[in-house]
Amino acid sequence: MGERAIAAEARDLTKDFDGKMAVDGVSLSVPEGSITGILGPNGAGKTTSIRMLLGIIDPTSGSRTLLGHDRPLEVARQVGYLPEERGLYPSMPAAEAIAFMGALRGLPIREGRRRALQLLKDAGHEDWAKKPIRTLSKGMAQTVQLLGTIIHEPRLIVLDEPFAGLDALNQQKLEQLIRDQSAAGVTVIFSTHVIAHAERLCERIAIIAEGRAVFEGDVDEARGKLRPIVHLRTRSESGPWQSAFPPSAKKVAGEWRFELPESGPEPLLKALIDGGAGIETLSIERPGLHDAFIAIAGEAAAREMGHVPAPEEAA
Partner 1 sequence: MRLPETFRAAFVIARRDFTATVFSKTFLFFLLGPLFPLLLGVGMVGIGAQVDRNAKAPPVAVISSTEDFELLEAARERLSPLTSTEPLIELRYEAPEEDVAAQRNRLLSDNERPVFGVLDGGLSAPHLTGAVTRGGRTARQIGLFIDEARQIEVRPTVSGPPLRLTATTSTSGLEAFTRSMTARVGQTLLFVLTILLAGMLLSQLIEEKSSKVIEVLAAAVPVDAIFLGKLFAMLGMSLVGIGVWAMLGATVLNLLREGGLATLATPAVGWPAFLILVLVYFSMSYLLIGATFLGIGAQASTVREVQTLSMPVTMGQVVLFGFAAVGVGRPMSTEAIAAAIFPLSSPFAMIARAAEHSALWPHLLALLWQGLWVALILKMASAVFRRSVLKSGKSGRRWWQRKTA
Q: Is 25 buried (19+), middle (13-18) or exposed (0-12) by CB count in 10 A?
A: middle
Phi, psi (degrees; rounded to nearest 5) at 46 = -65, -50
Nearer to partner 1, 50 or 302 (CB): 50
Give yes or no for residue 26 binding partner 1 (CB under 8 A).
no
How far is 140 from 143, CA to CA, in rounded Å?
5
Residue 313 is which amino acid? E
Collapsed DSSP state (helix, strand, coil) of residue 197: helix
Give yes or no for residue 303 binding partner 1 (CB under 8 A).
no
Give yes or no for residue 280 binding partner 1 (CB under 8 A).
no
Measuring CA to CA, which residue among 115, 42, 53, 123 is closest to residue 85? 42
Give yes or no for residue 91 binding partner 1 (CB under 8 A).
yes
Nearer to partner 1, 156 or 209 (CB): 156
Q: Which of 6, 56, 226, 279 binds partner 1 (CB under 8 A)?
A: 56
Binding mask 226-265 for partner 1 (x = CB under 8 A): ----------------------------------------
How far is 161 from 46, CA to CA, in rounded Å?
9
Is the distance from CB of 52 to CB of 24 less than 8 angstroms?
no
Residue 28 is which amino acid? L
Shortest spacing between CB 146 and partner 1, in angstroms: 12
How far is 301 from 176, CA to CA, in rounded Å?
28
Q: Which of 30, 94, 95, 103 binds partner 1 (CB under 8 A)?
A: 103
Give yes or no for residue 23 binding partner 1 (CB under 8 A).
no
Give yes or no for residue 204 binding partner 1 (CB under 8 A).
no
Nearer to partner 1, 88 or 296 (CB): 88
Residue 163 is which amino acid? F
Give yes or no for residue 73 binding partner 1 (CB under 8 A).
yes
Q: Binding residues for partner 1, per CB under 8 A? A: 16-18, 51, 54-58, 60, 71, 73-74, 76, 79, 81, 83, 85-92, 100-101, 103-106, 109, 145
